């Protein structure tokens, strides 16, 4: 049995406006898993992921992280620890969140910022090893030749691949992917998901992703969690999600959309 | 019908409006003894009385469901607008119309507009002679004018250049989206207030202060422009910082970068071009202001201008005005082209 990398216990999040985004959420993530979180928009998927790297602050509960280099309760971490957490837990966003006017290579190198001194990063002096690393990961996602283009000149799918390279440059133990393909066309969807699977299987990095499409979930997930109104309503293997589960998660009126 | 919500802005606007009308009618009809005008208490009392009376009127009108101009401007936006009504059939229309007429009448009295003075023969002849001299500049003064305007241009350049680093750093401390948290909020509010005060003091006043401090000359003028530029650029820069998109900031933050790295990698690339554009424009403005500042002893071409103007040597003044006009026009063109290219 492989080791637990993340243990979430009784996690709740109430926003200042009173919205309860997460209600007593508990689950575990094993090392090397490809965990996918599903649920309607507003069910708390994004909030959950953003609590795991403290882009959002949880209201109560614990998030025990057992990494190789880091062992702590994420929910209690203070500012310097939060930076260590973010260094070890990379994140991929729906809108890629690259710096538009900077080159692709510089964008990948920002993944190394946590390991670079403020002064050196200020003067744009990068470690030779870091540059090689950045180029290696651009190679891995197949856009090595775009390294010196401006990030905003790339297509959506290419930008998301740059974001993957940036996250890999951090050498994380866990990657959070918040709707990584929601703003891409169906064909590009699969390319990006394939790269995420490659990262998960070949580099052995644990993956937690939010997804909309069940067809993608069935294809890529090793395990699934479903959220409804901030609570976990399903936990299990993707093959277990039958019609009645689907209606329970998405509501009676919902119909499944298939993408090829 | 829903009860109208109380609006403080409506009350202040209408109080000022009606108060102004009441006070003007009072002064025109009663014609109080001019001796009162040097009495501060009398003046303040009259103003306050008018304002309070205006506020009471505004409340009364609102009670009787008359829509005042203040109500139209600041009241609830859900009120249905009857498009078929002209301004003359609405209360707010009349209120606005009468206020504007009253403003115009008081304005005519206060600025002592006089057609007679404009048509005065002697006055007109004097102006013609002056204009003739200005149009025939004494070009012997050209070398001195050029040397002096170079001084002015560099005053403006140094003021802008030295203001950049201050404004650059301070702009992040006075941007709302960066200054989060209780302590940061205090810094943000005090910086904003401080620079609003600095900006509301004209560069001309700063020049007078600095000409006492470091003696009359271009250095005083440069310092005055610099202070004003720091305040203005900080405001413009920080407004740019407030419009950056959040995405890249989160993207860089999520890698574990610290605050300074996040600003440098996620915000600065987004604001660099507008920053340069504002700075070029500020230099352009500073050259024009430096000319004026010279008039009070800030050095450069303005000082030369006030010397010859004082001696009524209009042909020399003409030469100086010509040089100023050409330089200002050239810089204006240059800054426009540069800012276009930066877009």
A58 closest CA partner among A44, A41, A72, A71: A44
| Sheet containing strand A231-236, strands side by side | A89-92, A174-178, A206-210, A34-38, A223-228, A231-236
ipTM exceeds 0.85, yes or no: yes
DSSP lists the bridge partners of residue A68 as: none
Average pLDDT, integer, range A132-158: 93
Question: By the 8 A CB rule, do B318 and B199 touch?
Answer: no
Per-residue model confidence (pLDDT) at position B89: 77
Q: Is residue B77 pLDDT above 70, yes or no?
A: no
Q: Is residue A145 pLDDT above 80, yes or no?
A: yes
pLDDT tens figures, B96-134: 899 999 999 999 988 988 888 888 888 899 899 999 999
Per-residue model confidence (pLDDT) at position B191: 93
DSSP lists the bridge partners of residue A98 as: none
Question: By the 8 A CB rule, do A186 and A257 touch?
Answer: no
| Distance, CA of B232 to CA of B185 (rounded, Å) | 21
Q: Is residue B36 pLDDT above 90, yes or no?
A: no
pLDDT tens figures, B176-215: 888 888 899 999 999 999 999 999 998 899 999 998 999 8
CB contact under 8 A, B248 and A118: no
User: Closest approach of chain A CAs to the CA of B8, in angstroms?
Assistant: 26
Average pLDDT, integer, range A82-107: 94
Q: Which of residues 170-189 of A touch B (CB under 8 A)?
A: 170
Per-residue model confidence (pLDDT) at position B85: 67
Is residue B215 packed enough to be buried (19+ CB in 10 Å), middle (13-18) or exposed (0-12)?
Answer: exposed
Q: Is residue B65 pLDDT above 70, yes or no?
A: yes
Q: Does A97 touch chain B (CB under 8 A)?
A: yes
**Which tokens sit at A9?**
């216990």
Per-residue model confidence (pLDDT) at position B2: 44
| Distance, CA of A35 to CA of A238 (rounded, Å) | 10
pLDDT tens figures, A35-86: 999 998 889 999 999 999 999 999 999 999 998 888 889 988 888 899 999 9
Q: Is residue B29 pLDDT above 80, yes or no?
A: yes
Q: Does B66 touch chain A (CB under 8 A)?
A: no
Is residue B283 packed enough to be buried (19+ CB in 10 Å), middle (13-18) or exposed (0-12)?
Answer: buried
A236 closest CA partner among A11, A15, A2, A37: A37
Q: Is residue A241 pLDDT above 90, yes or no?
A: no
Least confident of A194-203, B5-14, B162-171: B5-14
Average pLDDT, integer, range B82-87: 63
Tell me how many residue pairs between chain A and chain B have CB atoms under 8 A apart. 84
Per-residue model confidence (pLDDT) at position B1: 39
**Neighbouring residues of B207: CB distance < 8 A, sequence distance ≥ 6:** B220, B221, B224, B293, B296, B297, B298
| Distance, CA of B238 to CA of A257 (rounded, Å) | 45
Confidence grade of residue A140 (pLDDT, cut at 50, 70, 90): very high
CB contact under 8 A, B256 and A113: yes
Q: Is residue B54 pLDDT above 80, yes or no?
A: yes
Per-residue model confidence (pLDDT) at position B112: 87
Provide long-range contacts, Cβ within 8 A and 24+ apart, for B36-45. none
Confidence grade of residue B82 (pLDDT, cut at 50, 70, 90): low
The torsion angle over the Cα atoms of residues A158, A160, A163 and A165, rounded to 10 degrees, is: -60
Q: Which residue of A has its CA nearest to B269?
A: A101
Average pLDDT, integer, range A148-162: 93
- Average pLDDT of every residue of chain B: 89
Question: By the 8 A CB rule, do A13 and A51 touch?
Answer: yes
CB contact under 8 A, B254 and A102: no
pLDDT tens figures, B163-175: 999 999 999 999 9
Average pLDDT, integer, range B41-50: 92
pTM of the model: 0.78
For B90, list phi and psi in degrees, rounded to 5. Answer: -115, 150
Q: Is residue B261 pLDDT above 60, yes or no?
A: yes
User: Closest approach of chain B CAs to the CA of A244, in angstroms?
Assistant: 37
Per-residue model confidence (pLDDT) at position B115: 85
Q: Does A53 touch chain B (CB under 8 A)?
A: yes
Per-residue model confidence (pLDDT) at position B70: 84
User: Closest approach of chain A CAs to the CA of B52, in angstroms?
Assistant: 39
Per-residue model confidence (pLDDT) at position B84: 60
| Distance, CA of A45 to CA of B217 (rounded, Å) | 66
Per-residue model confidence (pLDDT) at position A172: 95
CB contact under 8 A, B251 and A97: yes
Confidence grade of residue A214 (pLDDT, cut at 50, 70, 90): confident
Strands, E, within chain B: which ranges?
none
Backbone dihedral region for residue B104 (phi beyond 0: left; psi -120 to 50: alpha; all else: beta): alpha
User: Residues of chain B with pLDDT > 70: what percent?
Assistant: 95
- Please list every residue in chain A whose beta carbon sits closer than 8 Å to the beta carbon of residue B253: 55, 86
Going A105 to A106 to A109 to A110, the CA torsion angle's sign is negative
Q: Which of residues 270-329 of B touch A (CB under 8 A)?
A: 270, 272
CB contact under 8 A, A118 and B256: no
Q: Which residue of A has its CA nearest to B260?
A: A118
Q: Please identify which residue in the block is written with the tokens 């071009």.
A: B273
CB contact under 8 A, B248 and A83: no
Q: Does A69 touch chain B (CB under 8 A)?
A: no
- Please list every residue in chain B whose beta carbon sits closer than 8 Å to the beta carbon of residue A170: 255-256
- Please list every residue in chain A whose beta carbon sits closer than 8 Å to the beta carbon of residue B266: 99
Q: Which of B254, B261, B266 sits opposite A118 (nearest CB)?
A: B261
- Please list every residue in chain A whose beta carbon sits closer than 8 Å to the beta carbon of residue B254: 53, 55, 86, 90-91, 93, 97
DSSP letter at A33 equals -
Per-residue model confidence (pLDDT) at position B5: 64
DSSP lists the bridge partners of residue A35 as: A208, A223
Q: Is residue A134 pLDDT above 70, yes or no?
A: yes
Give the three-state DSSP class for B84: coil
- Please list every residue in chain A whose beta carbon sits closer than 8 Å to the beta carbon of residue B251: 93, 96-99, 110, 163, 166
Q: Does B7 touch chain A (CB under 8 A)?
A: no
A77 closest CA partner among A60, A46, A54, A61: A54
């Amino acid at each position: 049995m492989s080791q637990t990398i993340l243990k979430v216990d009784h996690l709740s999040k109430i926003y200042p406006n009173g919205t309860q985004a997460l209600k007593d959420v508990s689950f575990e993530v094993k090392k090397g898993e490809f965990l996918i979180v599903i649920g309607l928009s507003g069910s708390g998927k994004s909030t959950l992921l953003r609590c795991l790297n403290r882009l959002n602050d949880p209201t109560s509960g614990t998030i025990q992280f057992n990494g190789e280099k880091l062992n702590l309760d994420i929910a209690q971490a203070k500012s310097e620890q939060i930076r260590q957490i973010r260094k070890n837990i990379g994140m991929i966003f729906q809108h890629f969140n690259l710096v538009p006017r900077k080159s692709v290579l510089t964008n990948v190198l920002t993944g190394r910022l946590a390991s670079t001194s403020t002064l050196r990063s200020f003067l744009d002096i990068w470690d030779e090893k870091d540059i090689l690393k950045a180029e290696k990961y651009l190679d891995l996602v197949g856009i090595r030749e775009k390294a010196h283009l401006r990030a905003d000149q790339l297509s959506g799918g290419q930008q998301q691949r740059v974001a993957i390279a940036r996250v890999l440059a951090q050498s994380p133990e866990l990657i959070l992917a918040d709707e990584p393909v929601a703003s891409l066309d169906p064909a590009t969807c699969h390319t990006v998901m394939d790269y995420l699977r490659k990262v998960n299987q070949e580099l052995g990095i644990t993956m937690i992703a939010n997804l909309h499409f069940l067809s993608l979930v069935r294809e890529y997930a090793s395990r699934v969690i479903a959220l409804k109104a901030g609570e976990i309503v399903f936990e299990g293997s993707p093959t277990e999600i039958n019609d009645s589960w689907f209606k329970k998660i998405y509501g009676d009126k919902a119909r499944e959309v298939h993408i090829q | 019908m829903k009860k109208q919500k109380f609006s403080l802005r409506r009350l202040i606007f209408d109080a000022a409006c009606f108060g102004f009308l009441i006070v003007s009618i009072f002064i025109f009809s009663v014609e109080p003894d001019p001796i009162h005008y040097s009495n501060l208490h009398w003046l303040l009392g009259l103003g306050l009385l008018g304002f309070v009376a205006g506020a009471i009127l505004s409340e009364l009108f609102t009670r009787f469901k008359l829509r005042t101009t203040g109500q139209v401007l600041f009241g609830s936006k859900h009120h249905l607008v009857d498009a078929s009504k002209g301004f003359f059939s609405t209360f707010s229309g009349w209120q606005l119309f009468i206020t504007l007429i009253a403003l115009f009448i008081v304005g005519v009295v206060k600025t002592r507009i006089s057609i007679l003075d404009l048509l005065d023969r002697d006055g007109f002849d004097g102006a013609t002679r002056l204009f003739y001299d200005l149009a025939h500049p004494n070009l012997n003064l050209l070398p001195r004018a050029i040397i002096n305007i170079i001084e002015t241009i560099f005053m403006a350049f140094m003021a802008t250049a030295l203001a950049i680093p201050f404004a650059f750093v301070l702009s992040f401390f006075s941007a709302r989206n960066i200054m989060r948290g209780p302590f940061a909020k205090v810094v943000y509010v005090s910086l904003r207030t401080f620079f609003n005060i600095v900006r509301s003091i004209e560069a001309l006043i700063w020049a007078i202060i600095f000409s006492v401090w470091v003696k009359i000359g271009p250095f005083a003028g440069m310092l005055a422009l610099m202070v004003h530029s720091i305040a203005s650029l900080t405001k413009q820069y920080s407004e740019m910082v407030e419009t950056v998109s959040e995405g890249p900031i989160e993207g860089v933050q999520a890698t574990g970068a610290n605050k300074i790295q996040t600003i440098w990698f996620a915000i600065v690339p987004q604001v660099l071009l507008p920053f340069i554009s504002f700075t070029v424009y500020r230099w352009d403005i500073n050259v024009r202001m430096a000319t004026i500042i010279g008039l009070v002893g800030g050095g450069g071409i303005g000082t030369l201008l006030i010397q010859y103007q004082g001696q009524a040597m209009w042909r020399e003044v003409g030469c100086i005005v010509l040089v100023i006009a050409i330089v200002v026009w050239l810089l204006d063109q240059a800054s426009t082209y540069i800012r276009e290219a930066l877009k």
